């Protein structure tokens, strides 16, 4: 019944989806193939509910129509956002509330590095932090000093592969290239597996 369905939903949301699922869902939103009134969640909701990373480098987060319905009646009926008194928000008020959450996201993103925020930094940045930590440990630098020094390092000093063009055509090309590369990689892996199986079957049995 309803309890079983809710348990299934909880189990799905509690498990982090693989990268393939993330890329496919994002491509659907980029191509405007998701009706949020049917899905019941926007792109940002999907990221949060499934535990995926949320960064201001993703242009899709700034697209309001990918987050909640465009019509005020549907915004009210679906209660896509409520204020502190529990009243449903819609129209310009809902847009302003969502923009404020984006502003808070950007503000948090611009804060100095801390051990807790380390996962939000780029892979290049994290590897640099690890190298500095090893050097500090080798020369006996106190951990507090190393953490303080790391907090002065800006994100922009190292490239971030998550950056992308905000042009819609570029985003369409990007998601297509990502999925096409995944399919090609999987086909190559399957072909290699079949070739290995054929080679193993053709070898004479050991006497």
> Distance between CA atoms of 155 and 111, rounded to whole angstroms?
10
> Does the pLDDT at position 16 exceed 90?
no
> Does the pLDDT at position 127 exceed 90?
yes
- pLDDT (mean) for 82-90: 89
Q: 16-20, 59-63, 201-205: which range is least confident on average?
A: 201-205
Asked which of 112, 129, 147 is the last residue of a domain, the reply is: 112
- What is the percent of the chain where pLDDT is above 90? 57
Q: How would you class 136 by CB atoms within 10 Å of its CB: exposed for 0-12, middle for 13-18, buried for 19 or more?
A: middle
> Does the pLDDT at position 44 exceed 80?
yes
> Does the pLDDT at position 67 exceed 80?
yes
Domain carrying residue 133:
118-157
Phi, psi for 13 (deg, rounded to 5): -70, -25
| CA neighbor of 91 nearest in space, from 76, 105, 104, 101 | 76
What's the pLDDT score for residue 32? Answer: 92
Question: Does residue 131 fall inside a structural domain?
Answer: yes
What's the pLDDT score for residue 193? Answer: 87
Phi, psi for 82 (deg, rounded to 5): -130, 155
Question: Does residue 6 fall inside a structural domain?
Answer: yes
Question: Does residue 170 fall inside a structural domain?
Answer: no
Q: Give yes or no: residues 93 and 127 share one domain.
A: no
Q: Give yes or no: residues 108 and 138 share one domain.
A: no
CB under 8 Å to 23, separation ≥6 — which residues?
175, 178, 179, 182
Q: Give yes or no: residues 12 and 87 share one domain.
A: yes
**Residue 204: pLDDT band with limits 50, 70, 90:** low
Q: Give yes or no: residues 15 and 100 share one domain.
A: yes
Question: Does residue 140 fall inside a structural domain?
Answer: yes
> Distance between CA atoms of 59 and 30, rounded to whole angstroms?
10
Question: Does residue 78 fall inside a structural domain?
Answer: yes
**Residue 111: pLDDT band with limits 50, 70, 90:** very high
Cβ pair 42, 68 in contact under 8 A? yes
Question: Does residue 66 fall inside a structural domain?
Answer: yes
Q: Give yes or no: residues 90 and 130 share one domain.
A: no
Q: Give yes or no: residues 41 and 98 share one domain.
A: yes
- pLDDT (mean) for 122-141: 93
Q: Give yes or no: residues 11 and 26 share one domain.
A: yes
Q: Give yes or no: residues 96 and 126 share one domain.
A: no
Question: Does residue 189 fall inside a structural domain?
Answer: no
Query: How do the residues of the chain divide into helix, strand and coil, expressed in percent and rounded to 5?
Result: 65, 0, 35
> Distance between CA atoms of 86 and 101, rounded to whole angstroms?
18
What does pLDDT average to over the chain? 88
> Distance between CA atoms of 61 and 65, rounded to whole angstroms?
10
Q: Give yes or no: residues 70 and 22 share one domain.
A: yes
Asked which of 75, 91, 112 is the last residue of a domain, the reply is: 112
Q: Give yes or no: residues 9 and 28 share one domain.
A: yes
Q: What angle do CA 173, 175, 179 make, to 5 degrees?
A: 115
Q: Within 13 Å of residue 197, how many CA atoms lie on the same side as its CB? A: 6
Show the tokens assigned to 102: 């984006």
Q: Longest Cα pair distance anywhere in the chain, in angstroms?
A: 81
Give the number of domains in the chain.
2
Q: Give yes or no: residues 100 and 150 share one domain.
A: no
Q: Which residues pair with 88 in a beta bridge?
A: 82
Q: Give yes or no: residues 74 and 143 share one domain.
A: no
Asked which of 55, 81, 112 is the last residue of a domain, the reply is: 112
> Distance between CA atoms of 35 and 49, rounded to whole angstroms?
18
């Amino acid at each position: 019944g309803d309890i079983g369905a809710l348990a299934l939903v909880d189990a799905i949301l509690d498990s982090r989806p693989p990268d393939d699922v993330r890329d496919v869902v994002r491509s659907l939103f980029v191509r405007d193939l998701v009706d949020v009134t049917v899905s019941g969640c926007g792109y940002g909701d999907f990221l949060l509910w499934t535990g995926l990373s949320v960064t201001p480098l993703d242009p899709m987060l700034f697209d309001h129509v990918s987050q909640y319905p465009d019509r005020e009646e549907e915004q009210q009926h679906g209660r896509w956002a409520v204020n502190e008194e529990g009243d449903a928000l819609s129209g310009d008020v809902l847009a302003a509330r969502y923009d404020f959450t984006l502003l808070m996201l950007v503000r948090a993103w611009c804060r100095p590095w801390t051990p807790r925020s380390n996962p939000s930094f780029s892979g290049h940045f994290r590897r640099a932090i690890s190298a500095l930590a090893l050097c500090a440990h080798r020369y006996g630098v106190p951990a507090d000093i190393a953490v303080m020094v790391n907090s002065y390092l800006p994100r922009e000093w190292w490239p971030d592969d998550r950056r992308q063009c905000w042009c819609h055509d570029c985003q369409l090309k990007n998601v297509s290239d990502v999925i096409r590369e995944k399919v090609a990689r999987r086909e190559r892996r399957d072909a290699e597996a079949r070739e290995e199986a054929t080679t193993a079957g053709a070898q004479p049995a050991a006497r």
